[in-house]
Structure 1
Amino acid sequence: KVSDLQRATIAAQAFYAENNEPTKTRSPWILKRLYEWSNRAKRREIIKHVQAALETSVDHELEDDELEKLLPVTWDEMFEGQIQELPQQKQKYLQAVWELFHSELKFLHHQLLVLRNVYKEPLKKCQVEGCLLTVEPDLLFGNLDQLCRISRGFCQSFLSLLQSVNREGTDYDCTELVVKLFEKVCWSLRFLIKLAL
């Protein structure tokens, strides 16, 4: 145990000898260390704000449960009735109409709303709390909110069209209505493009 005491004494003497050095050689190291610690703390704080924003980023403005329920539905499940008795050409027609609707619905839910709810809205919440102030969400995401509204309106109009065709009976002819719906959406998009320019 005497050897342990001697080692401890030598270590203590070496420690105090290092601490007796002039402060000029020590201070840059200390300042550098403090700077690193403060940067780490800032990064941790930013990460906490981003996580909190992501956890609370529920915006019900553009959510539509009726539309969301249709994501896993297939075309033959949507059109009730005697679909199997329809001619093959009419079945293909209904399948094509459903694909138009379903592809826009997937684009809305899997791309536009993900961009909005996972990236844009949490970024805005972080900025309200004083983080990530150098990023400009309106420049970064442009007209994302308008695109979400137009796409949602298109899906809702298309769904009401499909439901009315489904209620009317076995004719299932909605070509004119689909064309009018697409013209309406194209006009909205043209107007949006003119505003952006």
Structure 2
Amino acid sequence: MGGGGHERRDRGEDQPRRGGGRVFPPRVPALRRQADLTQFLIWAACLAAISAVGAPGIGEVGALPELSPLLLVAFVLFFLLGYFLYGSMYASIGAAVNTTQEAQSLVFPVMMPLILSVVFYPMVLSAPDSTLSVILSLVPFFAPLLMFLRMTAVSPPAWQVALSMLLMLATIVGIVWAAARIYRVGILMYGKRPTFPEIIRWVGRS
């Protein structure tokens, strides 16, 4: 989704730039690549959910079950929400760092929720209506994969699906707001390698 264009714009911009008395964080190509990887993983996990649920009743190997219009709409919505959610997290990192090396040290914690979603996959698939599965599917960082997985296996109550989307939207707004505050402080911290505790403190600064 625009990865090639980002790479072209990012060439030669790995060094911090100054302008108008302000220090501008560079565009970090590594974050772009990680965002593209996240997009791919979300696509792959969603397709795996459809295949896993539909496979037992399918005669032809490798065929996918027929999807209802509602499930197709849910697929698009959860994919977009998941992409913007993780994209906003990468933007927060980009607002805090000066170099690619600094960014790489902060990327793995951002990827952890997506990795955990895949770890929880078999458990949610085997018991999609269990209390733990419901709770996990409502957590914004897990919802893009786990709520959609539940929808392919059973028909969760509409309020649960709506609540998961609302929580994701609220989380996206909150992360974007935090990224703006991180940027305001980060431009004054030129040359200092930030840590996660420091970034969290930046959010609380006025």
* Structure-2-length-normalised TM-score: 0.32
Bigger Rg over Cα: 1
Q: Which has the higher helix share?
A: 1
* Structure-1-length-normalised TM-score: 0.33
